[in-house]
């Protein structure tokens, strides 16, 4: 399913293609999902990103580098094209956007919140800083470069965002 | 065309619907554009955002507030839905992404670069700061909240991003 999405995009994600990739009959696919959007919603609800590993190095800077590096690897990795097609569908369809927020995005949100909460408990940053837009800066810049602007996405960008933007902003409040 | 896109999304943007909205025959549409993607590329190349007004208040903070406020108004305004459908198509199609970067995105880039260059000339910030990721922070957070996460997009977010993130980062380098 994600393989079809990566190869064909959302437009090419037909029930036929999914049945073929899954090695089952089309009737089996239709018994579970009545439409392409529903099929994608089902995938979103049981997404693999539910098991996102949360870094716990004991140091906020290292945890942020780890989270952003994981993000970059997902964008650049074998599932990157599928995730891009999925996000294209999410951007264009409010029902899919809602399912995406409930599923994969909530997992990411929990991972980020855990890392920031631990830094608050260690006294590295204030609770106010953890709840500010500063915490969104790194993932937002990576996401917009990846999906829209095509800006650089190398390893340097992670240290620039962590040391040049997120840590100074999070420590300042 | 943008009206059809706003109402129906990219999937509903058929040559029939565009011909109907334009009050011309379908043959006229097909004479100019051979496919839906080409039609959208044509719209992108002649986009209204080419005439993006560039604020020039003589103060970087005020210029940044003006640019981000314009961005928010576009997201929330009558053309917001059409722009969202357009971006969904851009995210999912490399050829459209390329045309978007050449057209509307380049206009935005020029407006941001002009505002930052003027601040460098006035001695408000360094050239290094103007070229850093700090300059992307505001638009990136707004774009990701709008397209993906559904985070808050009220007037407060503009001052939070300008005074809490962009100005401190741009002044620090």
B44: pLDDT confidence band, cut at 50, 70 and 90? low
- CB of B134 less than 8 A from some CB of A: yes
Q: A89: nearest CA in chain B?
A: B88
Better-predicted residue by pLDDT, B47 or A35: A35
Task: Please state which architecture CATH assigns to domain B50-172.
Answer: Orthogonal Bundle (1.10)
Residue A145 and residue A139 in contact, taking contact as beta carbons nearer than 8 Å: no
Confidence band of A5 (pLDDT split at 50, 70, 90) = confident
A169 touches chain B (CB under 8 A): yes
Q: What is the mean pLDDT of residues B30-40?
A: 73
Is B88 in contact with A84 (Cβ distance < 8 A)? no
**CATH number belonging to the domain at A2-43, selected among 1.20.58.740, 1.10.1040.10, 1.10.10.60, 1.10.3720.10:** 1.10.10.60
Please name which of B169, B164, B103 lies closest in space to residue B136, comparing C-alpha atoms: B169
**Would you call A141 and B133 a contact, using CB atoms and an 8 Å cutoff?**
yes
- In the CATH scheme, what architecture does the domain A49-172 have? Orthogonal Bundle (1.10)
Other C-beta atoms lying within 10 Å of the C-beta of residue A52: 17
Chain B: residue whose CA lies nearest to A104: B149
* Best mean pLDDT range from A26-35, B73-82, B159-168: B159-168
Interface membership of B131 toward A (CB under 8 Å)? no
A87 shares contact with chain B (CB less than 8 Å): yes
Q: How many helices (H) and strands (E) does chain B have?
A: 12, 0
Of residues B35 and A71, more confidence is placed in A71
* Chain A nearest-CA residue for B81: A92
The pLDDT value given to residue A116? 98
Q: What is the dihedral of CA B15, B21, B23, B29, to 10 degrees?
A: -20
ipTM of this complex prediction, to 2 decimal places: 0.86
For residue A32, CA distances in Å to A35, A42, A47, A118, B64 come to 9, 9, 17, 41, 50
Using CA atoms, how far residue A23 sits from A8, A18, A44, B37, in Å, is 17, 8, 21, 32
For A135-164, the pLDDT digits (tens) are 999 999 999 999 999 999 998 999 999 999
Do residue A137 and residue B137 have CB atoms under 8 angstroms apart? Answer: yes
C-alpha span between B99 and A14 (Å, rounded): 27
Q: Say yes or no for a CB contact (<8 Å) between B92 and A11.
A: yes
Residue A65 is predicted with a pLDDT of 97
User: According to the model, what pLDDT value does residue B38 have?
Assistant: 72
Domain ranges of chain B: 50-172
């Amino acid at each position: 399913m994600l393989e079809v999405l990566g190869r064909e995009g959302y437009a090419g994600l037909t029930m036929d293609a999914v049945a073929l990739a899954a090695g089952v009959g089309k009737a089996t696919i239709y018994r579970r999902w009545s439409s392409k959007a529903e099929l994608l919603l089902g995938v979103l609800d049981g997404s693999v990103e539910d098991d996102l590993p949360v870094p716990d190095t004991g140091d906020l800077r290292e945890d942020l580098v780890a989270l952003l590096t994981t993000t970059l690897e997902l964008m650049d990795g074998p599932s990157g094209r599928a995730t891009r097609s999925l996000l294209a569908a999410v951007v264009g369809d409010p029902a899919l956007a809602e399912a995406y927020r409930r599923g994969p995005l909530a997992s990411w949100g929990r991972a980020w919140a855990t890392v920031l909460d631990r830094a608050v408990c260690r006294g590295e940053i204030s609770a106010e800083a953890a709840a500010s837009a500063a915490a969104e800066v790194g993932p937002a810049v990576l996401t917009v470069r990846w999906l829209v602007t095509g800006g650089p996405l190398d390893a340097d960008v992670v240290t620039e965002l962590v040391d040049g933007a997120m840590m100074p902003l999070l420590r300042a409040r």
